[in-house]
């Protein structure tokens, strides 16, 4: 494509979950700018409808943990786009609570959204991905999937499961479908508002990493773009930290 002004995702049809906020939204904005056709899913129906209209994308209210709803919405998304070449699973939830106080229902919910959610989406989209020339899957995991942190037994287990799930997809679905994960560190989104609204917490989180700042959604969006194009054509099953150095220690 050297020298051409064409976007990196021209003619690619991509489905993104969790696109009404944070990383999912930033990925949708970058991918729209790179020429992708987009189906955007979120449980926040009003939010996703508004963002989809702005980006000239197809928006769908959908809870990724509800398998029957996912089957229905993914079929509608494939119909609207004329097929699916790529998936980004960005929808996720976080409950940081010491294990002794963690509600069983919250543990179940994190597994259902963060791990079974991506399964539901990929299971529903597989027939379309198999018809695509070179399909890609990117799952947004977390540094919490690489290392233990206090109060994250449920969240970390869901993300560690997502990392291994993604590796197994890479193995089972190659060579025509590649599957990779991203492990963000602390990124400034609604999910981490409790942290960055507090100056002291922000400074401590920044000081903890080599790059001395919190991440921004664009950091993750650009890594997601890499995994969704032939720029990463010989990479599958990888788990890329986008964390400023958080996961080294």
Ligand X SMILES: NC(=O)c1ccc[n+]([C@@H]2O[C@H](COP(=O)([O-])OP(=O)(O)OC[C@H]3O[C@@H](n4cnc5c(N)ncnc54)[C@H](O)[C@@H]3O)[C@@H](O)[C@H]2O)c1
Q: How far apart are CA 60 and CA 44, in angstroms?
A: 9
Site for ligand X, residues 52 to 91, rule: CB under 6 A: 62-65, 90-91
Please check whether residue 154 is in contact with residue 198, taking contact to mean a CB–CB distance below 8 angstroms.
no
Kindly state the smallest distance separating residue 2's Cβ from ligand X, in Å: 33
Quick check: is 155 catalytic? yes
Binding mask 144-173 for ligand X (x = CB under 6 A): ------------------------------
Could you give the angle at the alpha carbon of 96 between the alpha carbons of 113 and 140, nearest 5°? 40
Site for ligand X contains 18 (CB under 6 A): yes
Strands (E), the chain: 13-17, 37-42, 58-61, 86-89, 135-140, 177-184, 239-242
Is residue 140 involved in binding ligand X (CB under 6 A)? yes
Contact 26, 221 (CB under 8 A): yes
Rounded Cα gap, residues 121 and 125, in angstroms: 6
Cβ–Cβ < 8 Å for 190, 235: no
- Regarding 113 and contact with ligand X (CB under 6 A), the answer is yes
Interacting residue with ligand X among 184, 219, 232, 240 (CB under 6 A):
184
192, 228, 232, 236: which one binds ligand X (CB under 6 A): 192
What residues between 26 and 55 interact with ligand X by CB under 6 A?
42-44
Nearest CB to ligand X, comparing residues 81 and 162 = 162
Binding site for ligand X (CB under 6 A): 17-18, 20-24, 42-44, 62-65, 90-94, 113, 117, 140, 142, 184, 186-187, 189-192
């Amino acid at each position: 494509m050297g020298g051409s002004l064409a976007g990196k995702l021209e003619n690619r049809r991509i489905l993104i979950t969790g696109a009404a906020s944070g990383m999912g939204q930033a990925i949708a904005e970058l991918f729209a700018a790179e020429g992708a056709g987009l189906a955007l899913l979120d449980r926040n129906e009003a939010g996703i409808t508004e963002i989809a209209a702005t980006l000239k994308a197809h928006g769908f209210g959908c809870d990724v943990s509800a398998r029957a709803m996912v089957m229905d919405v993914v079929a509608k998304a494939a119909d609207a786009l004329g097929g699916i070449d790529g998936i980004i699973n960005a929808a996720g939830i976080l409950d940081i609570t010491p294990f002794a106080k963690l509600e069983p229902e919250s543990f179940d919910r994190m597994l259902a959204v963060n791990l079974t959610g991506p399964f539901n989406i990929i299971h529903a989209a597989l027939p379309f991905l198999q018809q695509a020339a070179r399909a890609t899957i990117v799952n947004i995991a977390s540094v919490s999937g690489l290392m233990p942190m206090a109060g994250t037994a449920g969240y970390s287990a869901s993300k560690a499961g997502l990392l291994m799930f993604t590796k197994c997809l890479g193995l089972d679905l190659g060579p025509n479908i590649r599957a990779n994960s991203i492990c963000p560190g602390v990124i400034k989104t609604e999910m981490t508002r409790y942290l960055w609204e507090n100056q002291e917490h922000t400074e401590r989180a920044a000081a903890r990493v080599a790059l001395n700042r919190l991440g921004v959604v664009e950091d993750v969006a650009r890594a997601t773009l890499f995994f969704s194009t032939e720029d990463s054509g010989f990479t599958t099953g990888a788990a890329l930290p986008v964390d400023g150095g958080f996961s080294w220690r």
